[in-house]
Each structure stands twice: as structure tokens, then as C-alpha cells.
Chains A and B, each alone.
Chain A
Amino acid sequence: GESVGLHLPTLSVQEGDNSIINCAYSNSASDYFIWYKQESGKGPQFIIDIRSNMDKRQGQRVTVLLNKTVKHLSLQIAATQPGDSAVYFCADTPNTGTASKLTFGTGTRLQVTL
């Protein structure tokens, strides 16, 4: 993931609209990518993952897109709800054959307006 700063980028969307959160990663060896949701005062919560041999994966109301050429991934949330308000992080890890650390990217704060 990219280095992060003190001020989180913020995405404001209206309830019911679709949200797209973007993330750039820097490690060409990264093989596995995860999106986490973090609500205030809580730990990161797993949303969806994708391996580098895929370019799209869908879950319930969420879709992750991976573009390895430009080292970019995105999280799409359909029909955004107030409960989706949180900070979203992408994280990546290389394929070492065993569990290894995640490198987190710059978080994005999603604000859902009514």
C-alpha cells in the first residue's frame, strides 16, 4: 500500500447511490489483496478479497476490481446505506506460500448522507 497521511480522503455519497473507493499499491510482487472496513473505535473488518489471477470479484453489494498493469484496485458498493459509513482500507501481501503481513494503503472515509 501507499504511504498514508494525517488527513484521510473523504468520499461523500447519498444513500442509495453507488460508491467507488480507489486504492493504489506499490509492490509489484503483491499477489493477494483485501478490503477492510473500519468503524470508529473498532478493528478492521474483512469485506472482500481478490487474488492476482483475477481482475474482478463480487460479493454481496460489493465488487472489487483489480488492474495489475497500473497497480490499482477499487471497491464498489452498490446502493450505499448509512451503515456503510466508515473508513475503508485496501491491503496487499506478496505470495510467499505462507501467511505474511498485510501492507495497508491510504484509508478513505466514506460518508453516507440521507
Chain B
Amino acid sequence: EAEVAQSPRYKITEKSQAVAFWCDPISGHATLYWYRQILGQGPELLVQFQDESVVDDSQLPKDRFSAERLKGVDSTLKIQPAELGDSAMYLCASSSGLAGDLNIQYFGAGTRLSVL
């Protein structure tokens, strides 16, 4: 069964350092999402891509977060500089965007970030 791949699974960094997370969506999925999940809460959207274009980054803290999906396939989410409050699980999801299957988003295993 096709899966969303994410790496690394775990990342420990010191505050003010830069971190990057990678995501490879299910093959053929045009829509890719990055969510942040704080412990004990539900995921919240950071950014949504349709192919290589950003369609929603309204909740992305753009002073320190950036995301790209240059060729419309895999994606990278970067934080620079990391702050203590960024400690969370970062989840990538993808969906086909096809009629009848518009919004079933399939999630990767996530990257657990700890900022010390």
C-alpha cells in the first residue's frame, strides 16, 4: 500500500538552530499538506500545496518557517531559527484531489521535533 514518507522521524535541536523536514507524498497526489501537532491536540495546517504552488499558508509563521515543493512532488519544511515553542510533531499529508476523493488526506508517520 502506498504511503507518505517523512524523514527524519525524530529531530533534537537547540534553539536558534535551523532544522528541515522532508516529505514524499503518495505517487500521483497533487495536493500536499504540512500540519503541526502539539502534544494532546489535533493537527493544525501550516501550509498547503497544489502541485508546486502554495494555496494556503495563512497559518505559517513566515518569519521563521518556509516550505517548498519545487517540482510538485516532494516537499521540504524549514524552521530557522528554531524556538522552544516549536517542539511538536510535524505531519505531512497528501490527497489526490480527484472528484469523489477530494479530501481523504493520507498522513505520514511524522517528524517529532524537540527544541532544547
Write the residues of chain A forming the contact surface with B, with a CB cutoff of 8 angstroms.
1, 4-8, 32, 34, 36, 41-46, 49, 89, 91, 93, 98-102, 104-107
Residues of B close to A34: CB separation below 8 A: 103-105
Contacting B42 at CB < 8 Å: which of A7, A32, A91, A98? A91
Please list the 4 inter-chain residue pairs (A to B) with the smallest Cβ-Cβ separation, ordered nearest first: A104-B42, A43-B107, A101-B45, A99-B31
Residues of B close to A102: CB separation below 8 A: 43, 45, 103, 105
Known: A91-B42, A101-B33, A101-B45. A46 touches B97 (CB 8 A): no
CB-defined A-B contacts under 8 Å, sample of 28: A4-B40, A5-B40, A6-B41, A32-B103, A34-B103, A36-B107, A41-B109, A43-B108, A43-B110, A44-B43, A46-B104, A49-B104, A89-B43, A91-B42, A98-B50, A99-B31, A99-B48, A99-B95, A99-B97, A99-B102, A100-B48, A101-B48, A102-B43, A102-B45, A104-B42, A107-B40, A107-B41, A107-B42
Chain A residue at smallest Cβ distance from B47: A101
Taken together as a complex, chains A and B put the C-alpha atoms of A6 and B40 apart, in Å, by 5
11 additional contacts, CB 8 Å, given A6-B40, A32-B102?
A: A44-B43, A44-B91, A49-B103, A89-B42, A99-B95, A99-B102, A100-B48, A100-B103, A102-B103, A104-B42, A104-B44
Most B CB within 10 A of own CB, among A6, A100, A105, A107:
A100
Residue pairs across A and B with CB atoms within 8 Å: the count is 71
Known: A6-B40, A104-B44. A93 touches B103 (CB 8 A): yes
